[in-house]
């Protein structure tokens, strides 16, 4: 289980030291991947300026062909289209699921957003079925909210 408070403190210190969102997003992905054996693939997608596609920013895990995902497609695109995190206990049951790797059984998408603006998302795959709890989601949301603060600052 990720120690979200620790990661959020580190991210805040990075901000105060002048690091930009690019460094923060990479640090967050690595921290999440290392924190839990159930997390077999961790990545961040950012929403394109025209808000039509998600673009893969960085990830740890097996290479994926899904570098760009149209909004509305797959678990990732559905999260943006509905403006809601997606906790999918069994990916085979999700209509339009985009397979990253055949070993993946469950998936969690947590949006990175501030106010009404969606910047992107954390996408986490697990080789364990029904791997993600509300606690996982809440912890990752804390980290996502800290990243959204930095992305908001950079967009001004």
Using CB under 6 A, which of the segments 4-12, 14-22, 94-102, 140-148 binds ligand SME?
94-102
- Size, binding site for ligand SME by CB under 6 A: 14
With residues binned 3-state (H G I as helix, E B as strand, rest as coil), the percentages for the chain, rounded to 5, are: 40, 25, 35
Using CB under 6 A, which of the segments 4-12, 15-23, 61-69, 114-122 binds ligand SME?
61-69
Nearer to ligand SME, 75 or 140 (CB): 75
Beta strands in 22-147 (DSSP E): 41-47, 53-60, 68-70, 86-88, 106-114, 117-126
Q: Is 74 in the site for ligand SME (CB under 6 A)?
A: yes
Which of 2, 44, 120, 125 forms a contact with ligand SME (CB under 6 A)?
Answer: 125
Contact between 85 and 109 under an 8 Å Cβ cutoff? The reply is yes
């Amino acid at each position: 289980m990720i120690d979200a408070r620790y990661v959020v403190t580190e991210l805040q210190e990075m901000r105060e030291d002048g690091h930009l969102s690019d460094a923060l997003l990479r640090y967050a992905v690595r921290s999440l991947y290392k924190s839990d054996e159930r997390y077999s693939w961790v990545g961040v997608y950012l929403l394109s300026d025209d808000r039509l596609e998600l673009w893969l920013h960085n990830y740890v895990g097996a290479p994926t062909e899904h570098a760009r995902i149209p909004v509305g497609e797959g678990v990732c695109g559905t999260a943006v289209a509905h403006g809601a995190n997606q906790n999918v206990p069994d990916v085979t049951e999700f209509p339009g699921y985009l397979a990253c790797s055949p070993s993946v059984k469950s998936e969690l998408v947590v949006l990175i957003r501030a106010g009404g603006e969606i910047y992107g998302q954390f996408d986490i795959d697990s080789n364990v079925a029904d791997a993600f709890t509300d606690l996982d989601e809440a912890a990752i949301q804390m980290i996502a909210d800290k990243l959204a603060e930095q992305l908001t600052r950079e967009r001004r």
